[in-house]
Amino acid sequence: MNKMLDAIPSLPIADWVEMLMDWLTEDFASLFSFIQKAGKNSMESFTDLLLYIPPIVFILIVAIIAFLATKKRFGLAAFSIVGLLFIYNQGLWKELMNTVTLVVFSSVIAILMGIPIGILMSKSRVADNIIKPILDFMQTMPGFVYLIPAVAFFGIGVVPGVFASVVFALPPTVRFTNLGIRQVPKELVEAADSYGSTGWQKLFKLELPLAKSTIMAGINQTVLLSLSMVVIASMIGAPGLGRDVLSALQRAQVGNGFVAGISLVIFAIIIDRLTQSLNKKKY
């Protein structure tokens, strides 16, 4: 049996992938160059805007947002103040703002792409059957693998980091949007049909509002997955706290790595609690 298997020629999958990547990078070089330059300029401008805000003002704004989002409870607001002051005290404020930029851009792009794809899957069985295996592939592929096409398309820097983060963080929003719309009671959909509602009216006035809680859970996961790519993206030149973690790892600096890691944890807790608070029902 082994001899029979050995006699079967191996498929040149690697060669085919290399040929595809060469074709993409050569034929679409101008497009990738434009995206790289536009994305870099946009993200650098956004980071400069964040750095222009005095740290104490930024911290107070986050604390106020946390206070209002949690129905005027002081827990998250107090944690935000203490945590962000700690990051500032450790001299990591600029790195934090770069991380905020990376997470904001990758999350927004993933959400803007994910919700329409999820809606399409919920409305079309064919689209659902085609896209689901692609999402499975995206979620099971190791995050480091996404760095290869990112560097091939966009070179080194923050843009390939955002590209890799978007690919890695996209599936939850797609899946939860699809799930949320499919869970809308059929009785309500039939009632909307009986009143002559159009497809767009049903979507925006019935299905999306009822699926909001599920969709927000997917968005929460997308944001956290974007943040989890910060350290990996730093391997291809993306700035931020991940670069400090990577530098500490390369130099075996346990203390610096611990401080940068704690800063990432603080940031992750703040954005996780904020997105969860937005998903809670208001009474």
Q: CA 141 to CA 160: how far, in whole Å?
A: 17
CATH number for 31-278: choose from 1.10.3720.10, 1.10.230.10, 3.30.70.100, 1.10.260.30.
Answer: 1.10.3720.10
How does 77-98 read in b/e, with b if 16+ C-beta sit within 10 Å? bebbbebbeebbebebbebbbb
- Residues lower than pLDDT 50 in the chain: 282-283
Q: CA 198 to CA 195: how far, in whole Å?
A: 9
Angle between helices 125-140 and 93-123 (to 10 degrees): 150
Q: CA 199 to CA 121: how far, in whole Å?
A: 15
What would the pLDDT profile of 44-102 be if each residue is shown by its tens digit?
899 899 989 899 999 999 999 888 887 777 788 889 899 999 999 888 889 899 999 98
Q: What pLDDT sits at residue 208? A: 85
Q: CA 117 to CA 241: how far, in whole Å?
A: 31
- In 3D space, the residue among 227, 267, 251 whose CA is nearest the CA of residue 96 turns out to be 267
Q: What pLDDT sits at residue 283? A: 42
Label residue 255 exposed, middle or buried (CB < 10 Å: 0-12, 13-18, 19+): exposed
Q: What pLDDT sits at residue 190? A: 78
SS3 string, the chain, reads CHHHHHHCCCCCHHHHHHHHHHHHHHHCHHHHHHHHHHHHHHHHHHHHHHHHCCHHHHHHHHHHHHHHHCCCCHHHHHHHHHHHHHHHHCCCHHHHHHHHHHHHHHHHHHHHHHHHHHHHHHHCHHHHHHHHHHHHHHHHCCHHHHHHHHHHHHCCCHHHHHHHHHHHHHHHHHHHHHHHHHCCCHHHHHHHHHCCCCHHHHHHHHHHHHHHHHHHHHHHHHHHHHHHCHHHHHHHCCCCHHHHHHHHHHHCCHHHHHHHHHHHHHHHHHHHHHHHHHCCCCC
Q: CA 259 to CA 28: how far, in whole Å?
A: 41
Q: Which long-range contacts (CB under 8 A, 24 or more apart) does 145-149 make?
A: 147/232, 147/233, 147/235, 147/236, 149/21
Structure tokens at 9: 């020629």
Q: What pLDDT sits at residue 108? A: 92
Q: pTM for the whole thing?
A: 0.85
- In 3D space, the residue among 130, 129, 168, 122 whose CA is nearest the CA of residue 146 turns out to be 168
Label residue 108 exposed, middle or buried (CB < 10 Å: 0-12, 13-18, 19+): middle
Q: CA 210 to CA 72: how far, in whole Å?
A: 26
